[in-house]
Structure 1
Amino acid sequence: MRRLTVVFAGLLITGLLCSSESYASQTASEHDAQALASSPQWLTTKVYIEGEPDTDVKASYPGVVGISMWDPQRNRYEFFYTDTGRSKHADGGGGYFLVTGDKKTHILVPDVGPTRTIVRRLEKLDGSEFTYSREVPRDMVSTNPPVRIYVVHAPYTGPIKTVMSN
């Protein structure tokens, strides 16, 4: 027992005398979930396949295109159609989200629908751009091989005003 007490005392003294500087890598400050609040609405401006950033394929991936709203205070999101502003919530386009502690992963948990979670890699997030990537079947056809798509958003300044359902 005495030996254990001496070991713990030694560890305590060592901890107090050593620097408390962290050697962990710092995350990029540009990935800030609060940046989602920098605009009340975000618009999908481009969708491209990995390795083909100059080719916009939005027409092949209509399910990821739209206007989105993010509430970092409540961790709520909702998606809307760009032509009407109608909510996609009833079709799984609304729910909770979180950004992981390393600020590299963006996870959606829809309120309704067959999909329970959607995991996306956070590529860029600041006040002027929100870009994520994820693997999906090519052209969103379930029998096609998977590809990584990049979905780029910018703050929306158009005429459609949306309001979150929840």
Structure 2
Amino acid sequence: MRRLTFVLAGLLLAGIFNPSKSYAQQAEPERDIRALASSPQWLTTKVYIEGAPEKDVKANYPGVVGISMWDPQRNRYEFFYTDTGRSKYADGGGGYFLVTGDRKTHILVPDAGPTRTVVRRLEKLDSSEFTYSREVPRDMVANQSTVRIYVVHAPYNGPIKTAMSN
């Protein structure tokens, strides 16, 4: 018992007189994530299939088209319909998001709805454009072959005003 007391006291003193050095570096601000906050609303401006950027196929993918809001302070998102401004929250259109440390992946974790997690490849994100891509069934029809779609957003300045549910 006495030996254990001396060992513990020695370790304590060693820690006090020889503090460990931290080699951790201060992380740079998450510029990409903060770019989402540069506009209160983002509008889907184009959807195209990989290899055919000249052809807009928004009409075939209405589930990814809309107005979106992003709150990087709370890592929250919410989607809205472009015609009415009504929230898509109850159908999985709202929840938490994150951008991975390598800034290549954008992950959505809905609060509600049938989908639990959506993983998207981050293509471009700055104050004028937010573009992601993901693989989905062609025309979003089950049992179709998968294609990679690119969904392009721009800051929205139109008449529809939205507010986050949570």
Q: Same fold (TM over 0.5)?
A: yes
Q: Which amino acid aligns with 1:121?
A: R
Distance in 1 between residues matched to 2:42 and 2:108, nearest whole Å = 16
The answer for the alignment partner of 1:130 in structure 2 is: 130
User: Which of the two has higher C-alpha Rg?
Assistant: 2
Q: What is the rounded CA distance, in whole Å, between the counterparts of 1:134 and 1:127 in structure 2?
A: 21
Residue matched to 2:84: 84
- Distance in 2 (alpha carbons) for counterparts of 1:60 and 1:105: 24
Mapped partners of 2:80, 2:114: distance in 1? 18
Q: Does 1:160 align with 2:166?
A: no
2:92/2:110 contact within 8 Å kept? yes
Residue 34 of structure 2 is aligned to residue 42 of structure 1? no
Aligned residue pair count = 141
The CA deviation at 1:114 is 1.2
Deviation at 1:32, TM superposition (A): 1.0
Q: Is the 8 A contact 2:91 2:114 kept in 1?
A: no
Gaps of 5+ in 1: 1-15, 23-28
Q: Tell me how far apart the structure 2 counterparts of residues 82 and 103 of structure 1 sit (CA, whole Å).
A: 28
Q: Residues of 2 paired with 1:69 and 1:132: CA distance?
A: 15
Contact kept? 2:46, 2:57, Cα under 8 Å? yes
- What is the alpha-carbon distance in structure 2 between the residues aligned to residue 70 and residue 31 of structure 1? 14
Q: Assess, with a 3 A threshold, how the Cα gap between structure 1 residues 125 and 111 changes in structure 2: closer, same or farther.
A: same
What percent identity do the matched residue pairs reach? 84
1:6-85 paired onto structure 2 within 5 Å: 32-85=32-85
Name the residue aligned to 2:110: 110
**For residue 39 of structure 1, what is the amino acid of its counterpart?**
S
Aligned to 1:12: none
3-state SS, counterpart of residue 36 of structure 2 = helix
RMSD in angstroms over aligned alpha carbons?
Answer: 1.8
What is the aligned partner in structure 2 of residue 145 from structure 1? 145
Q: Which runs of 4+ in 1 moved over 2 A?
A: none
TM-score (structure 2 length as normaliser): 0.82
Displacement of 1:31: 6.1
The alpha-carbon deviation at position 118 of structure 1 amounts to 0.1
Deviation (angstroms), 1:88 = 0.2
Could you tell me whether the CA contact under 8 Å between 1:31 and 1:124 is conserved in 2?
A: no
**Residue 36 of structure 1 aligns to a residue in which SS?**
helix
- Would the aligned equivalents of 2:33 and 2:99 in 1 still touch at CA under 8 Å? yes
CA deviations 1:21-62 (Å, max 9, x no partner) are x9xxxxxx9961100000000000000000000000000000
